[in-house]
Amino acid sequence: MKTTIVGVSGYAGQVLAQLVARHPSLEVAAVQGHESAGETLGAAVPGMPKELARMVIEPLGSEFGDADVVLLALPHGASQALAPRLLDEGKVVVDLGADFRFGDEASYEAWYGSRHQAVELLGHRVYGLVEVHRKELPGARLIAVPGCYVTAASLALWPLVARSLIGNDLVVVDGYSGVSGAGKGLKPTSHFVSVNENLSAYGLLNHRHTGEMEMNLGRKVLFTPHLAPISRGILSTSYAVPEQMNSPMTGEQLLTMYREVYAGSAFVRISEHPPGTREVLGTNTIAIYPIYDPRTNRYVVISALDNLVKGAAGQAIQALNVAQGWPEELGLDQIGVWP
């Protein structure tokens, strides 16, 4: 399928370009950017392979021509202006941003503080958390890909939710992100001098990803994000209170149950040790380690993923694969850290 990547000069867009170029059923037909329009991809993103480097970046919203698929990797708010036109033109749209992650207008407005410009599409979008929504994806024409923090926490806790092993109490999530999670724009908070040898919390109490975690988990969430002095990776630690009616599962039982729930999910690795971000770097894998603490009566689940792959571009391709009826893993092996 001919594929146009919009936002190709961004961190997520760069990885998308790499994945599409090597995918056996996709072809990079065109690339679009904002300030980088008019440059070659090689000039905008040093280190691109030759066949991509010579492509000229078109201005955002140029003609999409005979593209079959359009992948949007734009700042929040920019996709909703483009998606209606693309769907009218018969394209399959995969959005890596937040514009279509909520299925209703009120939640979007509550967490993003602005009115949605394409409300009529919200009921048609399929949420691309593949491991949970696999059956809804075949034939999808508008896929909203969840982001890095939300994927890490949601897949970590999903088995406990699906098996009714946690009550309705508050769930607590501590997330740690590499600096590429903040995008390529220069900000004082992501300068080398601010980040190097430093670990800090931000977005306290009302980070916009809280609402999306609540949507996925059906429970109130207290989410605290942290910026970690690494380029890529998300580490998430989630805490939940067991359902009172059942005796809590032991660590061994949890491992067995998690393996059952994710039995058909090639990109989920149930780990027997707390995973670190390095072991999933450059892969579409999320590693998950669940335990139970009898002293505090809490389930604690650690998860790790690469924010630019399983947290963004890899998950987008995984969801597209399922939507098209292709093998879920197509084009997603041996990715590596690139560019």
Q: Residue numbers of the site for ligand X2W (CB under 6 A)?
A: 98, 147-150, 177, 181-182, 203, 225, 227
Site string for ligand NDP, 142-171 (x = CB under 6 A): -----xx-----------------------
Residue choice 3, 4, 12, 288 for contact with ligand NDP (CB under 6 A): 12
148 flagged as catalytic? yes
- Compute the distance between CA of residue 219 and CA of residue 217 in angstroms, rounded to an integer: 5
Shorter beta-carbon distance to ligand NDP: residue 58 or 257: 58
- Under a CB-based contact definition with an 8 Å cutoff, are residues 225 and 177 in contact? yes
DSSP 79: H
Residue choice 175, 181, 211, 225 for contact with ligand NDP (CB under 6 A): 181
- Under a CB-based contact definition with an 8 Å cutoff, are residues 68 and 3 in contact? yes
Instruction: Candidates 27-35, 62-70, 110-118, 285-293: pick the segment binding ligand NDP (CB under 6 A).
Output: 27-35
Residue 292, C-beta contacts closer than 8 angstroms, at least 6 positions apart? 242, 248, 249, 250, 251, 254, 298, 299, 300
Residue choice 3, 11, 175, 286 for contact with ligand NDP (CB under 6 A): 11
Pick from 111, 106, 105: nearest CA to 125: 105
Tokens of 47: 């280190």
- Binding flag, residue 2, ligand NDP (CB under 6 A): no
Residue type, 81: A
Residues 283-312 touching ligand NDP, rule: CB under 6 A, are 307-308, 311-312
- Binding flag, residue 211, ligand NDP (CB under 6 A): no
Residue 79, C-beta contacts closer than 8 angstroms, at least 6 positions apart? 72, 95, 97, 99, 100
Q: Which residues bind ligand NDP (CB under 6 A)?
A: 7-13, 33-36, 60, 73-76, 78, 96-97, 147-148, 180-181, 183-185, 307-308, 311-312
Residues with a catalytic annotation lie at 148
